[in-house]
Structure 1
């Protein structure tokens, strides 16, 4: 989303929001525009110079670099034991003797048992992780855009205490666009936590 002061200029995907922000800047507006990413609550800074096509081309290149960096981070470059062609990499694990005994007693072996345990933990923790991330994103955004607004401290306390009635009451005097977007992000975080 893009904000110019307390006014929301655009919601949606980064490309559409960046083009709206570009139109704002190119229109000679003096109020600075800031684009925030809903998933993190952090500002993003696309290069808005040039034509619409230039902006979109740079955004696509940025996305490609981020995807390549993510792939590099996920695929460790190590030689040695393991099955590198399958993405299996050997690493050291420190466990207590009773843990090794339990792992070695598993019918499929220690490595398969560890992989199964990790997969189960990842599946069961996805909802909790998503809830944590959306809650952090809402808090970051709220701090960035409303940190100087009246009642922010108390609203922040109500947010972190998960007191929605108090939060609604304390954010009521805030500028409409800021208030509505903060509330939307908080509602997403609450929904993720309820799952």
Structure 2
């Protein structure tokens, strides 16, 4: 899944889309001293800085390093011989600390500890997927809201309504906020839920 970003100049939304598209639009917009341009990662609601120096190709090359394309977890394995691990699938070695009884159980599983852990994680993700997505959406909306609307009327009450999952109250409290900010917050918080 491709990451999307949204750029705001002051209270006005400039552009939403993939990193390269957003970066090139922002690069071409005339800066205004009274209205900063802020770029947000939609998945997290956090601001991010893009290095816009140089030509378009240079900007896009730096972005490709900063924001690599998504890994297709279902991709067919390559016919090339491979070394240890599965780097093409994004497998990363990290340390896990468990009690001896956990290691014994994992070691007795078909495929060993790594396969068993991946299966357990995938099962947990499926079981709590909707709740996790709702939490991530709420958190993204709150991060964006804190940056762009932290000084607007009803911010504290709107935050409480957002975390209480009281959509009606939340949208009522932010109804008078600047349209682009309000609409983006609602999109981040509720786009996955009808």
Shared fold per TM-score greater than 0.5: yes
Partner secondary structure for residue 11 of structure 1? strand
CA shift, 1:63, in A, is 2.5
The answer for the alignment partner of 1:20 in structure 2 is 25
Instruction: Note the alpha carbon deviations across 1:38-92, whole angstroms, 9 max, x for none.
Output: 001111100112222221121112224998xxx69842279xxxxxxxxxxxx66
Paired residues, number: 170
Q: Structure 1 51/128 Cα, relative in aligned 2: closer, same or farther at 3 Å?
A: same
CA shift, 1:118, in A, is 4.3
The answer for the alignment partner of 1:36 in structure 2 is 40
CA RMSD of aligned residues (A): 3.4
CA shift, 1:110, in A, is 8.2
The answer for the alignment partner of 2:15 in structure 1 is 10
Unaligned runs of 5+ in 2: 1-5, 72-86
1:48 aligns with 2:52: yes
The answer for the alignment partner of 1:124 in structure 2 is 127
How far, CA to CA, are the matches of 2:69 and 2:183 in structure 1?
33
Partner secondary structure for residue 20 of structure 1? helix
Q: Which has the higher helix share?
A: 1
Match of 1:160 among 163, 168, 171: 163
Match of 2:93 among 72, 76, 80: 76
How far, CA to CA, are the matches of 2:23 and 2:109 in structure 1?
55
How far, CA to CA, are the matches of 2:152 and 2:169 in structure 1?
16
Instruction: Note the alpha carbon deviations across 1:3-54, whole angstroms, 9 max, x for none.
Output: 1110111111111111111111xx3433210000000111110011222222
Partner secondary structure for residue 182 of structure 1? helix
